[in-house]
Amino acid sequence: STGQSDARGALIVLEGLDRSGKTSQSARLLSHLNSLGYPVESWRFPDRDTAVGKMISSYLTNQSQLDDHTIHLLFSANRWEKRSLMEAKLKSGTSLIVDRYSYSGVAFSSAKGLDIEWCKAPEVGLLAPDLVMYLNIPPEKAAERGGYGGERYEQLEFQKNVGKYYEMLSDPSWKIIDACLPLEDVEKQMTEIVLDCVVSCQKGKPLTHLWL
C-alpha cells in the first residue's frame, strides 16, 4: 500500500465547561485543517438533529422534564447512534473535531449526584478519542462571558461542580489549554497539538475503545 490512501482520520475531542470557547475553537480548527488540505469535519454532541437529539434539546430548553438517569442514557444513545458513521468517517481518512463527548456525559450527570461508574458504563465500547483537549477556565470567568443562554445546567454553582468531575475524569494524556488566553493564542496552541495527532493517526496509531 502507498500509506496515504488508507491512512485513517483522527478523533479529536474538545471538552470544557459551558462558555469555555469550545464551539469557536472547533470552527477555527476546522477551517485551519481545511486550508491545509486535510479532510475534516466538525461534529458536536448532543447532535440535536436526530430523534433522540430532539428529546435532549427539549429537555435542555426546559420544554420537557426527564429523570436524571433517563436523560443520561439519552445523551449516551445519541453518541451510540452516530458511532458507526463516526468509525466509517475515520476509516475513510476524515478527521473529526468533536465538540463534547462521553466526558461531558459523565461530568454533567455525576455533578447531579449520579454514581460515576454507573455514568461511565453506557459509554463502554464507543470509539476512544485520539486526543482530548480540555479548555480550562475558572467557572466565574466563564459565567462573565456574555452570560449563559438560559438552558439547563448553565448556572455557576452547578458548573463549579461539573469542573470537579472533569478533574476526576481527566488523565495525563489530556491536553489542558488555558482558555483565558486570547482566542488567537488558544487557536495556535490547539492547532499544533491537533496537527501532531492527525499525523500520528495517519502513521497508523490504532483506533481504540472507551474507557482507556
DSSP 210: S
* Shortest distance in whole angstroms from residue 153 CB to ligand NYM: 4
The three cell numbers of residue 5 are 490512501
Q: Does 59 contact ligand NYM by CB under 6 A?
A: no
How many Å separate Cα 128 from the centre of its chain?
11
Q: Does 18 contact ligand NYM by CB under 6 A?
A: yes
Q: Which is nearer to ligand NYM, 38 or 45 (CB)?
A: 45
User: Looking only at residues 73 through 132 of this chain, which bind ligand NYM when binding is defined by CB under 6 A?
Assistant: 75, 100, 104-105, 108
Helix (H) / strand (E) element for 202: namely helix 183-202
Q: Which is nearer to ligand NYM, 36 or 168 (CB)?
A: 168
Q: Which is nearer to ligand NYM, 89 or 100 (CB)?
A: 100
Q: Which is nearer to ligand NYM, 128 or 198 (CB)?
A: 128
d(CA 121, CA 88): 24
Give the x/- contact pattern for ligand NYM in 153-182, rule: CB under 6 A.
x-----------------------------
Question: For ligand NYM, how many residues bind (rule: CB under 6 A)?
Answer: 10
d(CA 207, CA 150): 37
Q: CB–CB of 148/18 below 8 Å? A: yes
Q: Does 19 contact ligand NYM by CB under 6 A?
A: no
Q: Which is nearer to ligand NYM, 95 or 110 (CB)?
A: 110
* Shortest distance in whole angstroms from residue 4 CB to ligand NYM: 33
> Is the Cα torsion angle 88, 94, 97, 103 positive or negative in sign?
positive
Q: Does 46 contact ligand NYM by CB under 6 A?
A: yes
Write the DSSP string, 173-201.
Answer: TSEEEETTS-HHHHHHHHHHHHHHHHHHH
Please list the helix, strand and coil fractions of the chain in percent, rounded to the nearest 5, in that order: 50, 15, 35
Q: Which residues bind ligand NYM (CB under 6 A)?
A: 18, 45-46, 60, 75, 100, 104-105, 108, 153
